[in-house]
Structure 1
Amino acid sequence: MRLPDLEAWAIFACVVEHRSFSGAADAIGVSKATVSKAITRLEAHLGQALFHRTSRRLTLTENGKALAAHAARILAEATAAEEAAHDAATAPAGLIRLTAPTTLGLARIAPAIAEFLAAHPGIQIDLHLSDARVDIVAEGFDVALRIADLPDSSLRARRLGAIAMHVVAAPAYLAAHGRPTHPAQLGEHPCFAYTNVTGPWRFSGPGGTEATVRPEGPLRSNSGDAILPALRAGLGIGVLPDFIVGPDLASGTLEAIMAEWRGAPLALHLMTPPSNLRPARVEALIAFLTERFRHLCDTET
């Protein structure tokens, strides 16, 4: 039985993360020649090229793309095993890479992270805010906070709390075009779609009745903040989560409508790579976020 070349797999993962041989070499403290030899050795063993190499650019082959996530998992599991052994005898310390949605990150997560760091001076956090869906394994994240659908069943998911949704419009729009009282009436209005909430809008109403609407309108975006100006300008109706539209409701810039009908609530989930092995610092952050966001994001209680 021939054992896998774990060093070469780990170096391959580093090259993918840093997008260059020299960047990987600097990150792990070896020479560029050592990195090149490891990749060549792995390619020879696999019988396929992992990178397209030119004098100016390094890109993954199709085979390389398919294997990158496996390499990232190998590196993450080995790193976690070593760190778990170290952390058993020391206080949690080191770097945690965390990704989260932009608006929620700025409004809620960043203040929470400041509190966490104050309690754990040995930990550093690399916080990546993006409304795009991030491949947390391939990109080397320890923890992801996600909203809405969770199609990747290979990740480990923990539901933190519900986030209420509001059907909203500007007072001027409602004065000019009328105030819908039933979801079926939304089809008569331009509606702005928040694409982080996939599929049709679903509502539950009086007596347990249900209704489904497919929004049609001139604007759709994966960023709720990008929809707010059009709503404030009185151009249509939107369905947005409380953490985005809450300040506008409080100021009266926008109004909530169809009070007897509730949109399906979003849930905030904490995602981690599939491995059960996690450093103590990551476990500490997971415990903190689980407790903090169970209440902070549950706007329905």
Structure 2
Amino acid sequence: MPSSPFHPDRPALVQRLRAAGCVYAEDEAELLIAAADSPDTLTTLVDRRVGGLPLEHVLGWAEFCGLRVAVDPGVFVPRGRTALLVETAAAVCGPAPAVVDLCCGSGATTVALAARLAPRWLAAVDVDPAAVACARRNLAGRDVAVLQGDLYDPLPVARRGRLDLVVANAPYVPTEAVALMPAEARLHEAPVALDGGADGLAVLRRVAAGAVDWLAPGGHLVVEVSDGQADALCAAMTALGLVPTVVREDEWDATGVLARRPRGSRTGPAVRGVAGRGSGN
């Protein structure tokens, strides 16, 4: 980490951050100091953080899977637990897969997938224009299509039934629970990136239904979900003809579902014309 050209009062800064409710005040203080080039800039950054803005929005970036990813104001901040999706995808994918990252948000998962999987074709989709703009910036210079639209709708028709992997960090917070989320998320991230409907699974059910149509036989769907929702989502996937498995990583407090489209299964009907969204959770 580069040294700061000035000498701020670190203990006072840590105390102010801790008083504002920042659990990792010491770490945040170092990041804010490193991002500032003057006392005035540092004061501005700290004021924004103490005012409740997510640290990643204050800094303009987040770390995800060892990578630094730009995060614009209002865009969903990638969570460390979503690394489970990347690890699970890497474990099941063959060489040079065709991949789509739905609900891509900042594009953090897409960037990580590009590095881990070396896909022959990779696309990222989100319904939120701000997220799409941010993802395009993070994926600039890579051979990745970043598309705006509702889930599978903007994908090229030629890819239908030919995808090896669909990854989705769709919203899964039940509507009534959104108001109980930390203010950082509730006030500074797009509602469309958080609200998963009455039971939190409305969008994930649509992701699963569309995967039946878009995955190649033997292809995989990997999604994030809460531990308490996993069984219900697996039941919905089984009813669609997918073969689901719950995956967990205690270190990250992460739960996901890996589902396979069986070989020899017929392509299902496309999911279209249903209101939905495409940012991550």
TM-score, scaled to structure 2: 0.28
Largest Rg, 1 or 2: 1
